[in-house]
């Protein structure tokens, strides 16, 4: 093969590789830019504008969802091109599907359309103390034990692993780690039967305890049964249900979202703020009051999208903000917005800028990228600090999201979650 032929073949391969890359990137871009799910308010016409670089066809698979493209003629199928808006109108509450095809034949994706009544919630921004009790005794890791002969052994290795939950020992149900410690103290060296939950699987584990050189028998396992911290209340609905944090509470050692049996909210007082720096996020420190009369509510769920439950009358009476209409993901746009926070000791609105909106569902608590531009907040905290997670985000008079994470390398920036994702996770 001559050099000219090799060069020609190289050009052909480069051409087709470029075509494949362009097709793949275009598909990826549209898949990420076009939401998998839309919420539309009953009997209201919602306008959308998908970033589609090619001609596309949108089809409604149900008579309850009517499409429009400006012709004023309701349709179940419309054709759109780049930057051409279209409308969706829901005629009956429920979940429906619309299909999106390129060139009228290449199926790109199915989009779920939820037709809902107008929803309202009260954006809060108040700091709260959080206490969670795990559902079972959580295994953090296994450890070594020095036995009576001086040998170092690890009796739980291969039997238990980080993230397991011990629910019972020798048939005795466990509520907390103190009960496990007491049960282990009474062991006589015989084989121990543990009831362990690993993910969705429930299993029986039989293992032999080791008599330690200090005396008594040990299982060689590190455990935890509760966790606590400070966060921010995001919203309160009209029925006394709340959502907070915008992300789950994870165990500091395993990194797993803690599976809980229950939890409580308590009064907290912010004592100080450590500003963030490059590579080190700032933190909001405070005191949680666990005394009588300091409870504010009960926690029933700990999910990837936040914690949820109900507040008591004491907390409800403190809330003096007006309910706002819920803004769905199609309502969120790049541009000015406000963040509501009580980080200063007083609940205030601070100016932020929404810099990026990811309409896909691949990162539910990192759908927004925000930047703090309010000089007062920048002087106070340097931007976003730990403890501000859950601070509600308001845009165009609607509650649209909540702060979830701070950028490690730039404390003025952070991630946010769509408020509809929190509402769905909380079953509210």
Question: What is the Cα–Cα distance from 122 to 141, expressed in whole angstroms?
Answer: 41
What architecture is domain 33-116?
Sandwich (2.60)
Was domain 138-224 assigned CATH 2.30.42.10?
yes
> Would strands 106-116 and 37-41 be described as parallel, antiparallel, or unpaired?
parallel
Give the pLDDT of residue 17: 75
Domain ranges of the chain: 33-116, 120-132+227-426, 138-224
Global pTM reads: 0.81
Along the 428 residues of the chain, how does pLDDT read in single tens digits? 677 767 677 777 877 777 777 666 666 666 666 777 788 888 888 877 777 767 778 888 888 888 887 665 556 788 877 767 888 888 888 889 888 887 777 777 888 888 888 889 999 999 999 999 999 999 999 999 998 888 999 999 999 999 999 999 999 999 889 999 999 999 988 999 999 999 889 999 999 999 998 889 999 999 998 899 999 999 999 888 999 999 999 887 777 899 999 999 999 999 889 887 777 888 888 899 998 889 999 999 999 999 999 999 899 888 888 999 999 988 999 999 999 999 998 999 999 999 999 877 667 789 999 999 999 999 999 999 999 999 999 999 999 999 999 998 899 999 999 999 999 898 76
Overall CATH class of domain 120-132+227-426:
mainly beta
Give the pLDDT of residue 23: 63
């Amino acid at each position: 093969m001559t050099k000219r032929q090799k060069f020609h073949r190289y050009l052909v391969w480069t051409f087709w590789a470029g075509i494949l890359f362009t097709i793949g990137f275009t598909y990826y871009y549209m898949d990420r830019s076009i939401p998998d799910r839309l919420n539309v308010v009953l009997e209201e016409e919602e306008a959308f504008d998908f970033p589609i670089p090619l001609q596309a066809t949108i089809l409604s698979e149900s008579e309850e969802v009517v499409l429009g493209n400006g012709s004023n003629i309701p349709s179940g199928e419309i054709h759109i091109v780049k930057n051409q808006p279209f409308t969706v109108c829901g005629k009956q509450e429920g979940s429906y599907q619309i299909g999106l095809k390129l060139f009228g034949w290449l199926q790109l994706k199915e989009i779920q359309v939820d037709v809902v009544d107008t929803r309202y919630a009260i954006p809060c921004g108040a700091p709260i103390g959080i206490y969670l009790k795990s559902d079972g005794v959580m295994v953090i890791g296994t450890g070594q034990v020095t036995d009576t002969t001086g040998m170092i052994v690890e009796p739980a290795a291969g039997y238990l692993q980080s993230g397991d939950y011990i629910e019972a020992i020798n048939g005795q149900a466990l509520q907390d780690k103190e009960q496990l410690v007491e049960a282990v103290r009474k062991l006589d060296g015989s084989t121990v039967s543990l009831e362990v939950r690993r993910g969705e699987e429930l299993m029986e584990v039989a293992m032999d305890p080791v008599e330690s050189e200090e005396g008594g028998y040990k299982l060689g396992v590190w455990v935890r049964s509760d966790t606590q911290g400070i966060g921010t209340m995001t919203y309160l609905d009209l029925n006394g249900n709340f959502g907070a944090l915008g992300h789950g509470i994870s165990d500091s050692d395993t990194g797993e979202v803690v599976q809980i049996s229950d939890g409580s909210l308590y009064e907290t007082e912010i004592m100080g703020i450590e500003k963030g720096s490059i590579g080190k996020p700032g933190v909001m420190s405070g005191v949680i009051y666990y005394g009588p009369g300091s409870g504010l509510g009960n926690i029933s769920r700990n999910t990837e999208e936040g914690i949820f439950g109900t507040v008591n009358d004491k907390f409800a009476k403190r809330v003096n903000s007006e309910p706002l209409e819920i803004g769905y993901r199609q309502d969120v746009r790049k541009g000015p917005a406000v963040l509501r926070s009580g980080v200063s000791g007083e609940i205030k609105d601070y100016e932020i800028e929404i810099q990026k909106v990811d309409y896909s569902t691949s990162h539910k608590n990192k759908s927004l990228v925000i930047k703090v531009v309010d000089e007062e907040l920048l002087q106070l905290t340097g931007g976003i600090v730990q403890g501000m997670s859950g601070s509600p985000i308001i845009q165009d008079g609607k509650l649209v999201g909540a702060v979830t994470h701070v950028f490690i390398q730039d404390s003025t920036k952070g991630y946010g979650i769509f408020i509809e994702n929190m509402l769905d996770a909380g079953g509210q």
